[in-house]
Amino acid sequence: MMHAFNSETLTPEADWPKSVPAIQSIINNSPSRRHCGRAQITVHTGMPSGNPLTVALTDRNIQGVQTTDQAMILQTLNIEKLLESLDKMHKDVDQTLFASRKNAIERHNAKTHAVPYKPTVGDYVVVTRTQRPRTKMSTNWVGPRRISVILSDLTVEIEHLLTSTTAFVHVCRVKPVC
């Protein structure tokens, strides 16, 4: 980005360090889809974003303050208000990121037609027995076995039909028998 900016403005290489504040301003003040259309400077500090090409300093003059105690109280109130607004903004950004991630997963699953297998007790399944070294062709399916206990969404206990021995297996290693 720095090379493109300096090339377009025809800045000599010796003067490139002078353009760093402008480039930082562009990066910090540009709205981002990841931050709900807010600029990075707004999300992280609560300051309103300005024109990305202007590097501006905030006015730090406090008017109407008679004593240092009043200034401390005013500063504390402003900091609390800033923290509340930052907390609200971060929650909004977090909700947006969570929703966009959830939508991306749903879009991906819709494209791949992937439907996760939900085992139930009593289902007949086959189980993978992977040999070393693991390659695409090394997986053997053995079974049928019966699901005797569902320990969690990801782990089941399967029972061998003839010997009645049991084993704990991850759901990704199980495939239902039609």
pLDDT digits (tens, 9 = 90+) for 108-133: 877 776 566 788 999 999 998 766 76
Q: b or e along 8-37 (b: 16 or more beta carbons within 10 Å of the residue's beta carbon)?
A: eeeeeeeeeeeeeebbebbebbeeeeebbe
Bond preceding residue 144 cis, omega within 30 of 0: yes
Domain 124-176 top-level CATH class: mainly beta
Predicted local distance difference test score (pLDDT) of residue 55: 55
- Please report, for the chain, the start and end positions of each structural domain, with discontinuous segments joined by +: 2-112, 124-176
- Reading the block at residue 19, the tokens are 């353009």
With contact defined as beta carbons under 8 Å apart, do 2 and 16 qualify?
yes
pLDDT of residue 98: 92
Q: How large is the average pLDDT for residues 88-111?
A: 87
Task: Measure the CA angle with vertex 144, ends 143 and 145; round to 5°.
Answer: 95
